[in-house]
Each structure stands twice: as C-alpha cells, then as structure tokens.
C-alpha cells in the first residue's frame, strides 16, 4: 500500500535522504523546509508524488497549516518523521537563557507542535507511525554536547510515553538514535555555539571545539543507508521502540547502561533504605 510521509527538516541531511528514499519506494511525501522550497524541488526533481511545504516547527500556526495542506494534497498521512533540529556546541553554563530556549524550541517543542498536528489524522484512521530522530547524545553525555543531548533525552522520554499511549490506537512509535553520520551536522553552518566561552572549560568543552571541525566529513555513518533503514522501519510489522543506528550509537548506549548499573549496585543499600519501616507504614509481617 502506498504510504504518505510527513518529513520535517527535509532541506538537507537525514530529512532529504529520507524524502528521496520514500519517493523512490513509490510513496508520497510531504516535505517541510523553513526556507527556499524551490531548492528542495530541484533536489527532488519536482517529483509528482512530492508536496513541499514551507514551515518553521517552532511556529504552531504554520505547522497546523502545513499538515492540513499535506492532507489536502494526498488525502491522508501514514508516517511522521520528526527530523527537524539543530545542535549547539557549548558548556551548559556558557549557554544563555535565550540560547537554551532556542535549542529546546526547535528540538523539543517543535517536535511536539508537529506531533500534535499530525496525531488527530492518525487517530482517526487508527493507524500510522511516528518516527522521532534522536541521537547517540541522547544515550550518554559528551562534553560540549550536554545541552543538545538533553533535548534528545527529552525526545527519548516523549517517545516512550507516546508509544504507551498510542499503541491501543494502532499507531506505532520508534525513536531512532543515529550515531555520527556524514551529514552537515558538524559543519559550522549547521550547529551553533554559545556566544560566551568560559576558560575553565578549555580542557573539556574547549577540546571538543578544537576537534569538531576535523571530524566533519569523516563520520562513519552513511546517511543513504540510514534512509533505507527508515523505509524498512516504516514497513515493519513489529517495529522497535528504540533503534540506535551505527556502531558508535550502540557503544554509547552500552557504556551508559553499564555505568548506570554499576552506580546503582554500588549505592543499592542506600537506595533501598528510604521506605517506611513496616511498623510505621501499617504493614505486618
């Protein structure tokens, strides 16, 4: 059955590759961009099964209008890919309130704006898939990416909650956590940096600032292969809730899980010491 996709942040990177792959598989795509929709039209060869909509995920009115436009064009929606987002390289203390809010407005509240706009259509048809793009930084903290990573921790948590709430309605949720892929994410045109730099963080965040440019273009992941996985995911009968992509993403998950398990076991006597005594709580042996 031909599916209708709604893909945010489709101008480049994962969003562009996912849109291309969905069209190549015979599906229809509503692709959203913040600006210059004509460039995306050229990149996708003005495909007849494509509808390009200009919107900013942080503007709820624009999001609602874009979703309605997509439904008007294709009659339904089947797969939502919440891909729009950006990174911010900064020590957490360095980031101003305005910079933090801008990061969350796009990566978290923007995702919620789009999800709220799409879900009524999926609920009505009692089917559909929500695919949220997280990150390996949503599994563990890395100096300089802690603030960005915290938005992806939020995406992980929101996805788990959505999965539980939407499962009885026939809607599947997967949160995809890519490792480092050769997209523009690490280019200076794509990520932002806090205006303030604090010298005390030179050996942690400063080291990351010095390394990030050298890493750009040498990431291990192939975004075209990621796009094919997303197509496979959209057609899977039993899709996972969590899907890390890349050996580095798997390593990040495993390292974090091992550290957490070790800490919890070390402090287990303390963690289990805080319940009421049986006599005080009204229980009897």
Task: Name the DSSP letter for residue 181.
Answer: B
Query: Active-site residue among 134, 135, 150, 252?
Result: 134
Q: Is 152 a catalytic residue?
A: yes
Interacting residues of 263 by C-beta distance below 8 A, sequence separation 6+:
none
**Strand arrangement of the beta sheet that strand 28-33 belongs to:** 50-54, 28-33, 4-7, 79-82, 128-133, 171-178, 242-245
Is residue 148 part of the annotated active site? The answer reads yes
Q: Which two tokens stand for residue 227?
A: 């796009």
Active site (annotated) includes residue 127: no
Residue pointed to by tokens 């390292």: 255
Catalytic residue among 150, 152, 191, 252: 152
- Alpha helix segments (H runs only) across the chain: 13-24, 37-43, 60-74, 97-104, 111-125, 146-166, 205-215, 223-235, 247-266, 268-271, 278-281
Question: Could you say which of 148, 150, 159, 252 is catalytic?
Answer: 148
- 98's tokens: 């305005």
Nearest to 124 by CA among 61, 166, 160: 166
CA distance 151 to 51: 29
Catalytic residue positions? 134, 148, 152
């Amino acid at each position: 059955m031909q599916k209708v996709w709604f893909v945010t942040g489709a101008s480049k990177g994962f969003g562009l590759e996912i849109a291309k792959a969905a069209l190549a598989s015979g599906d229809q795509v509503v692709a959203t961009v913040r600006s210059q929709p004509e460039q995306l039209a050229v990149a996708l060869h003005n495909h007849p099964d494509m509808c390009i909509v200009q919107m900013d995920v942080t503007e709820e009115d624009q999001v609602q209008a874009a979703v309605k436009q997509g439904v008007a064009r294709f009659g339904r929606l089947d797969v939502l890919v919440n891909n729009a987002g950006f990174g911010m390289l900064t020590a957490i203390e360095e980031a101003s309130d305005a910079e933090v809010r801008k990061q969350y407005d796009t990566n978290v509240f923007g995702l919620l704006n789009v999800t709220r706009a799409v879900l009524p259509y999926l609920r009505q048809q009692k089917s559909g898939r929500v695919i949220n793009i997280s990150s390996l930084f949503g599994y563990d903290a890395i100096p300089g990416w802690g603030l960005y990573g915290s938005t992806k921790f939020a995406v992980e948590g929101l996805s788990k909650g959505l999965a539980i709430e939407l499962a009885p309605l026939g809607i599947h949720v997967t949160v995809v956590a890519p490792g480092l892929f050769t997209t523009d994410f690490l280019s200076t045109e794509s990520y932002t940096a806090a205006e303030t730099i604090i010298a005390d963080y030179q050996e942690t965040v400063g080291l990351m600032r010095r390394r990030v440019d050298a890493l750009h273009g040498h990431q291990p992941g192939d975004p075209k292969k990621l796009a094919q996985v997303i197509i496979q995911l959209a057609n899977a009968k039993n899709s996972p809730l969590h899907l890390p992509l890349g050996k580095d993403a798997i390593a990040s998950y495993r390292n974090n899980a091992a550290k957490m398990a070790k800490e919890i076991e070390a402090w287990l006597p303390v963690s289990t010491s805080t319940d009421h005594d049986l006599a005080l709580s009204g229980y009897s042996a």
